[in-house]
Amino acid sequence: MIFETKRLYATKWQPRDLKALHELYNDPAITEFILPALTLEETRHIFEDQLNRYRSHYPFGRYFIVEKMSNKFIGLLLFKKDHKKAGVEIGYSLIKNQWHKGYATEIVKESINWLFEQDRFFSISAITELHNEGSKNVLLKCGFRPQQTFMEYGEEMNLFGLLKEDQNMEYIT
């Protein structure tokens, strides 16, 4: 486990988790905004690459979001190096039956706290598709500010940012 909240925790993938990852990567709610459905072999490649990255690039990489009560994987969390700044890009997705429970806001808020506690990062960014209102609302509630709109892979995207110096501002509720 890398960190926990009242109802969730974020954890590294373990060798036994390939099947669970494949199921998450093929959940329609995840494929809608993140990537197309993957074959088992494509999932295996991502999975093995990530297990290697934990050793060489920690804390960057992908993690499971787990609901404590059921101990089930309910989503994915990503920390990616932001090469433009001394910061990190955060990404997250939940399986659809876990939406509207406050889990995304909960995991993003704790991710912010955990990342800034590392004393390595001075900014956090996040990118959403223009029409992903749910994700944009999560970011705004967590203190992110809209920065720009841009095109990526033929899609209009929104970039949000949060500076460490602004982290102590009250979250919007």
In a domain, 156, yes or no: yes
- pTM of the complete model: 0.87
Q: pLDDT confidence of 33, banded at 50, 70, 90?
A: low
- Whichever domain contains 114, its CATH number is 3.40.630.30
Structure tokens at 127: 């990118």
Closest residue by Cα to residue 10 from 83, 129, 91 = 91
CA angle 79, 61, 53 (to 5 degrees): 150
At 44-58, the pLDDT tens digits run 999 999 999 898 898
In a domain, 173, yes or no: no
Give the total number of structural domains in the chain. 1
**Which of these ranges, 76-85, 102-111, 125-134, has the smallest mean pLDDT?**
76-85
Structural domain span for residue 143: 3-166
In a domain, 159, yes or no: yes
In a domain, 12, yes or no: yes
In a domain, 171, yes or no: no
Instruction: Check pLDDT > 60 for residue 123.
Output: yes
Instruction: Check pLDDT > 60 for residue 169.
Output: no
Contacts of 64 (CB under 8 A, 6+ apart): 10, 11, 12, 13, 17, 20, 21, 24, 73, 75, 76, 77
